[in-house]
Structure 1
Amino acid sequence: MSAQLRNHAACEVPAPLPDEMEVTFAMTTSPGGRVERSSGGHFQDTAVRSGTLWFCPIGVREDSIRITQPLSNILHVFLSKSHFDGFAEISSRTPSPANVAYLADVDDELVRQLCLRIHRELSEETSGGKLLIECLSQALIAHLVTSYSSDARPRLDPERSTSRLDDARLRRVLDYIHANIDQDLSLTKLSEVACLSKHHFARAFRDATGAPPHRYISARRLDHAVSLLKGSQSSLADIAYLCRFSSQATFTRAFRRQVGMSPGEYRRRSAT
């Protein structure tokens, strides 16, 4: 999944290449702003209010897009075909991304909440953010296919009844996390360690530990940061890198939210 937060001027927008599914979400109301778009004879004219949603599936080539007034804080979420291929785990067949409906002004609170969580990760990066986005993309794809596509129907999955983490498998996963806390931990790798599909792993992990994978890993990485601040002379930038933050600034913000002070202040207090 990729996501961008954009501001748009009033203009005629060039039609995008239809090689990704796009979910567009208005974070704020743009007074007087409207989006007019058409595809295959379907014309849509939508007022831009906080919470407005648009869907443009893969393969749907839009004939025209017109923005009547400047728009601010528009979140664009892009999903590739590979996301839909992964849905075959819980569907009777691999769905066609082109069969998701081309819609405007969608009233769907679940999609809104998923978009808000994606935006929050863009604004306030966490050390478990990559894993979180993987989980959110799985949830978003499953919802789009089951609610807005005609060619995929959920099927009973024999793994569902056994998709729990027993003590041995849970310990194996936790040991792997702790041994690789400074490495790039993906949902795919963790589900392989647990011998579960990606679709079932996140739920099983939450049921077993009380926390989703990204939150558990984020907490352990901050614990690791605390240990490094106390027991090493590594620079704050190096500690941020070891704890999988993209920069010292994002590490400092996350650490302050969790601990109540900056990493530098924590190190000074620990030394005394």
Structure 2
Amino acid sequence: MRNPSHKGLPPAPDVQPDDRSTSERRAADAEMARVLRTEPFRMALDSSGAGIAHWKHDALHDVVEPMRHHVIMAHKGVMQRMERRSGKSIAIGTFRPGVVNIVPEGSSSRWDIPKPVDVVQLYLPDATLQRVAGEAGTAGTAELIERTAHPDTITSRLLLSAADSLGGHGVLDALFRHQLTDLLATRLLAAHAGSPTTFQPTMGGLAPKVLLRAIERLRCDSEADVSLDALASDAGLSRFHFCRSFKESTGLSPHAWLRQHRLEQAMNILRESDESIVSVAAALGYSSQTAFAAAFKKLTGETPSDWRRRMR
């Protein structure tokens, strides 16, 4: 079945094996910039190219070439029909909140989207997917299934939450992205892999001394590395098992624990000093007063100024 609005469009690309090595393919952010012909609304990338990007782009009628990352998309914008074509295969779906698109590493297809799009994308290196699969005890190589407007409210909600972690607080945002990337990889392995993975419940938390070291690192106000890699390495665990064990011990993820700690620091400063809101934001590592105020209000329901007035 063809959509008559697509008359005169170039034919879909034939599906041919992509014989280029992974390193020869474009990174996901570069390929998306080429196809969408715009700059991302917000984006944060790691050195591997893994990251989160929020795009607002116009209608799209073009071929997405093979990339060296898996790309997972969740939609924020208006509901609309779309087509995704690979050779003679045509997938027709509806963009709306609660659905996801999955573009496995190395795949290529033509996209026809008639209206502007508001979308959050995860760029996931295959090495990260395989690491999480290995840490979870999965046998064999994990391969993602291509999805088009596939209902998955859990993955969609997780990915859309990442849009709030772009540009407010460097340390907190990076820790949240790394934690969320692993969590999304876990979800993809469970729901969108050729051989779905079953994850066993966490058994026990961190040893008391290990937990104390992790908390001391998170509390440190110096330039200490509080990345998920550093925390896990210090505990002698994989990222996957560290996060699960830390939450078992504290009831909070590492990111949530650090966010709560920073909030408590902010409250102490606001209550006990006359420091300006700008100064408090800078002292706690926020990129701006606006970012600090938004984070504070999200957790307390009040702006820093209103909270200070009420507590004095």
**What residue in structure 1 maps to residue 112 of structure 2?**
66
**Map 1:55-134 → 2, pairs under 5 A:** 55-62=102-109, 64-67=110-113, 69-87=114-132, 88-92=134-138, 95=141, 99-122=143-166, 128-134=172-178
Q: Which secondary structure state, in structure 2, belongs to the residue aligned with residue 24 of structure 1?
A: strand
Q: Distance in 2 between matches of 1:50 and 1:261?
A: 28
Of all paired residues, the percent bearing the same amino acid is: 22
Tell me, yes or no, if the aligned pair for 1:252 and 1:263 is still in contact at 8 Å: yes
CA gap of 1:194–1:71, structure 2 versus 1, over 3 A, is: same
Greater Cα offset, 254-263 or 147-156: 147-156
97, 101, 114: which one aligns with 1:54: 101
CA distance in 2, matches of 1:155, 1:26: 27
Q: Report the Cα offset of residue 5 of structure 1.
A: 2.8
Which residue is 2:252 aligned to?
211
Report Cα offsets for 1:201-234 as digits up to 9, x if no partner: 1121111112211111001112222344456676
Task: Determine if contact 2:168/2:288 at 8 Å carries over to the other structure.
Answer: no
Aligned-pair RMSD on alpha carbons?
Answer: 3.3
Q: CA contact under 8 A between 2:130 and 2:141: conserved in structure 1?
A: yes
Name the residue aligned to 2:21: none
- 1:21 aligned partner: 70
Q: What's 2:45 paired with?
A: none
**Distance in 2 of aligned mates of 1:260 and 1:148:** 37
Q: Is structure 2 residue 282 aligned with structure 1 residue 241? A: yes
Structure 1: state its 5+ residue gaps: none
Task: Go from structure 1 to structure 2 and tell me whether the alpha carbon gap of 1:156 and 1:29 turns closer, same or farther (over 3 Å shift).
Answer: closer
Q: In structure 2, which of residues 40, 43, 51 is the aligned counterpart of residue 2 of structure 1?
A: 51
**Aligned-partner Cα distance in 2 for 1:40–1:183:** 51
- Cα deviation per residue 1:51-85 (whole Å; 9 max; x = unaligned)? 232110111122x2111x21342222221233224
TM-score scaled by length of structure 2:
0.70
Task: Identify if the C-alpha distance between structure 1 residues 180 and 85 changes in structure 2 by more than 3 Å, giving closer, same or farther.
Answer: farther
Aligned partners of 1:143 and 1:125: how far apart in 2? Answer: 26
Q: Conserved in 2, the CA contact under 8 Å of 1:21 and 1:56?
A: yes
**Aligned residue in 2 for 1:177:** 218
Unaligned runs of 5+ in 2: 1-49
1:142-181 correspondence runs (5 A): 142-150=186-194, 164-180=205-221
> Is the alpha carbon distance of 1:153 and 1:6 closer, same or farther for their aligned partners in structure 2, counting shifts above 3 Å?
closer
Pair 1:153–1:72, CA change in 2 (3 A): closer
Deviations 1:111-160 (A, max 9, x none): 12212322344598797332222222112112223433336866989xx7
Q: 1:226 to 1:56 in 2, by over 3 A?
A: same
8 Å contact kept, 1:54–1:105: yes
Aligned to 1:250: 291
Separation in structure 1 between the aligned mates of residue 185 and residue 260 of structure 2, nearest angstrom: 27
| Superimposed CA distance per residue, residues 139-188 of structure 1 (whole angstroms, 9 cap, x where no aligned partner) | 2112223433336866989xx75x62122222222122222477552111
Rounded Cα–Cα distance in structure 2 between residues aligned with 1:13 and 1:181? 48
